[in-house]
Structure 1
């Protein structure tokens, strides 16, 4: 994930895309695997990418609808401005979830060890301290893969990150719940009331 590369300011659209990606990732997990490692690259991240509303709703969706899917979240090179933001988000997370979050910095050898213990460094992108310089994001290939997965998992039912109704075996993210984003004023979120 690369927060600095988001292309929408719509909180509802961002959450719907998160759910779409989560469902797609779950459907592509090997049969014997339940959890995922998230590698979040903060290169290029700044205050304009920061949204308390989206962060709070992201925490809610992940904890309520995907409680045991996170194996580990690696925050790679988060900027200093992220530290106070993390302190604001942390109270909305379960302690068990907080313990799964690791801060990794490219200039810290102990941090690099975390990556080396988890990833094959020959396969990991150079951007994350790995050795693979052949990887680059290609939107056309990504979009084609998502279309193929949509057909494979949903048949001819139209699916997109902005119009789909997503479910997993345990729960459902409804349009009513998604509407909560629009109904909670920003100032109430900042004070922690709803």
Structure 2
């Protein structure tokens, strides 16, 4: 048996073991990790909830050592970056940026939230501001999911018209670092829709930043390949999905006013204030 095949078999066995853990055993592991975190649970009680600890454990195949390490690193990052304090009002050029990257007003067939990214639209803000917007949305997802739900976001990206200047490798590296290390277990599926041929060479390099469990979640879809469009049909109700992604919805109007109110309501629920974030 080859080394790669052995790794795959061992990985699948580990994942199956994780899935078979009883709720009682899961709670025992959560409690043990909480003990290993010590006073950090008092510093960030809202963040270090059972749901968050469970999410990190699941993403690390129920390894208490790896989950604890990841949580400690995330606490350090949150202490410095203050993602919980970012509000809608903190974000720049939002009428354009929200059209480019936003939470869809529909769910997939499994009730999961959908993050839509329209790469053909030119961003009007710096990479730093784009990352802040991404973190804001990841906080939104993390605080608006059911406690027991894992892998609850479908990441749908329109790659038509993409060029290497659209997404520098450094930005891709930072994006994947944040998603995989500080928000593990949030993304269920990542769908690059209709990437051009030139993206293939970019992906060969970019996938080095992507962890194995995340690579398995990446599903390429091409508008001219009916067999790949089946991925879209399996995940989405085509009557609600935009026609630009292979759906049947004819609605093309993005109501920035309604979206703004939606985000402000979410900010209020999680306690984010425009006066508390100085970044």
Give the corresponding residue for 1:104. 221
Q: Is 2:164–2:202's contact at 8 Å kept on the other side of the alignment?
A: no
Matched, 1:137 2:254: yes
Pair 145,52 (structure 1): closer, same or farther in 2 beyond 3 Å = same
Distance verdict in 2 for CA 1:48–1:138, change over 3 Å: farther
Aligned residue runs from structure 1 range 119-134, under 5 A: 119-134=236-251
| Aligned residue number for residue 18 of structure 1 | 134
Please report how far the alpha carbon of residue 49 of structure 1 lies from its aligned counterpart in structure 2 after TM superposition: 0.9
Q: Deviation at 1:26?
A: 2.4
Q: What is aligned with 1:77?
A: 194
Q: Indicate the structure with greater helix content.
A: 2
Counterpart residue number, 2:164: 47
**How many residues are aligned here?**
162
Alignment partner, residue 116 of structure 1? 233
TM-score relative to the length of structure 2: 0.53
Could you list the per-position Cα deviations for residues 50-77 of structure 1 after superposition, in whole angstroms to 9, with x for gaps in the alignment?
2111111001111111121111101111
Corresponding residue number in structure 1 for 2:174: 57
Deviation at 1:47, TM superposition (A): 3.1
- Picking from 143, 149, 159, the partner of 1:33 is 149
Cα distance in 2 for partners of 1:58, 1:42 equals 16
For residues 71 and 132 of structure 1, what CA distance do their matches in structure 2 show? 23
Residues 176 and 210 in structure 2, CA contact (< 8 A), matched pair in contact too: yes
Worse overlay, 44-53 or 80-89: 44-53
Higher relative contact order (CA 8 A, sep 6+): 1
Give me the TM-score of the superposition, normalised by structure 1: 0.75
Question: What SS class does the counterpart of residue 151 from structure 1 fall into?
Answer: helix
Once the 2 structures are TM-superposed, how far is the Cα of residue 46 of structure 1 from its aligned partner? 2.5
User: Unmatched 5+ residue regions in structure 1?
Assistant: 166-174, 176-194
Residue 106 of structure 1 and its aligned partner are, at CA, apart by 0.9
Task: Kindly state the Cα deviation for residue 38 of structure 1 after the two structures are TM-superposed.
Answer: 0.9
Q: Which runs of 5+ in 2 are unaligned?
A: 1-116
SS in 2 for 1:49: coil
The list of structure 1 runs, each at least 4 consecutive aligned residues, that deviate by more than 4 angstroms after superposition, is none
RMSD: 2.1
Q: Which moved more, 1:39-48 or 1:110-119?
A: 39-48
Higher gyration radius (CA): 2
